[in-house]
Structure 1
């Protein structure tokens, strides 16, 4: 949904392991369940083009279990709350041994602080209208230009190296953010462009032994599944009554993140016994931060 508020997606240059600093007991929600109003923070890592070995190349792809207890930690890693069996973290973070680990990659748009890197190294791969970059104004993310097969191949090489890095780090899966980028493209991209690029990412992930999740774009759930996406990561599908589209397409292998209490209530009422549902603060900050919030059904 084009007007949906998405959370801040933090990119970390130097990852400081939170284990031993934050108590594992920092689970549950904070005292406040009100809506977050603070502007989201962004960090400044530029994409790396250094090739990463495919530690899992040729290995069997492992799918997540439907309804598995889940935590969303893309804004900073911390010890998972008790009972959590799957966690999603930024690609710069480390996976948690013994859990099903999902690696977050912003595949269709540029992180705000990485725009200069793209401008310096691949200016032709940024989507432009009349010479100006097309930007997701909600989060100041420049859209990547996936409008031609040649550009999609180039971008798949760059993003593919990030995916390889996820495999080498020991993640079991990757979530490719912004399959719905065409909705913010000023009409320059189509759903078919997004799906064509998604297929390249699916192939790269599977070649590295990783499962791959479709991120958002409920209207493309069936097409995404037919391309080979293995599960879905859905922001606010309870809030917008979209969970069913993902559940039907992915046999309940759906990780739901809500940011409002009413969205959590809706998701839990209809899908709490079938899907993996969690409420997080919009900035998805680590436990121990005063803005931290987490609840489940």
Structure 2
């Protein structure tokens, strides 16, 4: 989904410092790194389209495409399967056991207010494993359909958790997902969360899906961390201009409307 900017930079930095200091304890979230050659990475600087709001025929020149897990991949292209891995979408909230939704001290579910999504409680090894079992079923379906990669969204949900989750929680959880996806032959994207790009060796992430890195001057950090294997979605003309001026010959860049709508919709934009 479009990136959420929150007033939590300080929280992110504090939790990042905590996770890098580490205690050396076994958290129960260990995941073996992928074997070389097990997955196929997306091409660099390729035509790209972001279709998570609905699938439609790929525009001319597109080589890389991202679609929701409910859709089928596009034949002949590099296909990325979108999975909302860290939050429950509004129409799926009741599908989750009540104790796997993150709750504050009063028992209220912690929400991502921008998208009306409940945060999943990845705060303990036991809960991470239970949530991963469900998410990995979706990953299996992506693999069965023929996708090349998976995009676990809301990696940065800990920054919206009111301090109840940490960066270490997020990394421990995504390690479970990346290990499983690699075993199914899928590459795994880091979605946004620029503050954690320097720790990708701990998570098994292969490339990046970055929203508005041009607008926020973050494309360079992703490009360096992922050796230019970055697909970029901008939502404004200015963001597109900045991304293209600095990285147009290196990264895969597209401009979409915030709702990532389909052709024929009033707000549809793709450049």
Q: CA deviation at 1:226?
A: 3.9
Q: Specify the alignment match of 2:102 in structure 1.
A: 127
Give the alignment's TM-score, normalised by structure 1.
0.78
SS at match of 1:180: helix
Q: Which residue of 1 aligns with 2:219?
A: 243
Report if the CA contact (8 A) 1:156-1:197 is conserved: yes
Give distance in 1, aligned partners of 2:202 and 2:166: 18
| Conserved 8 A contact 2:256-2:269 | yes
Following superposition, the deviation at residue 225 of structure 1 comes to 4.3
TM-score by length of 2: 0.86
Matches of residues 225-240 of structure 1 in structure 2 within 5 Å? 225-240=201-216
The SS at the match of 2:66 is strand
Aligned to 2:13: none
Describe the superposition over 1:247-281 as per-residue Cα deviations: whole angstroms up to 9, x where unpaired: 11100000100001111011001011100000000
- 1:64 equivalenced with 2:39 (yes/no): no
Kindly provide the CA deviation profile for residues 9-61 of structure 1, in whole angstroms up to 9, marking residues without a partner as x. xxxxxxxxxxxxxxxxxxxxxxxxxxxxxxxxxxxxxxxxxxxxxxxxxx931
Give the drift of 1:223. 1.1
- Answer yes or no: is 1:262 the counterpart of 2:238: yes
Partners of 1:219 and 1:245 within 8 A in 2: no
Structure 2: how far apart are the matches of 1:174 and 1:157? 15
Q: 1:106 aligns with which of 75, 84, 96?
A: 84
Structure 2 match to 1:154: 130
Q: C-alpha root-mean-square deviation of aligned residues, in Å? A: 1.2
Moved over 6 A (4+): none
**Structure 1 match to 2:22:** none
Q: Which residue of 2 aligns with 1:116?
A: 94
Q: Higher helix share goes to which structure?
A: 2
Residue aligned with 2:87, SS: coil
Contact 1:2 1:183 in 2 (8 A): no
Equivalent pairs counted in the alignment come to 238
Question: Secondary structure at 1:133's aligned position in 2?
Answer: coil
Q: How does 1:25-64 map to 2 (within 5 A)?
A: 60-64=38-42
Distance 1:131 1:168, change over 3 A: same
Number of the residue aligned with 2:34: none
Deviation at 1:164, TM superposition (A): 0.4
Residue 72 (structure 2) aligns with: 94
Q: What SS does the corresponding residue of 1:166 show, helix, strand or coil?
A: helix
What residue is the counterpart of 1:16 in the other structure? none
**Structure 2 SS opposite 1:85:** strand
Gaps of 5+ in 2: 7-36
Q: Residue 185 of structure 2 is aligned with which of 172, 186, 209?
A: 209
Q: What SS class does the counterpart of residue 283 from structure 1 fall into?
A: coil
Contact 1:63/1:211 (8 A) holds in 2: yes
Out of 180, 183, 197, the position equivalent to 1:221 is 197
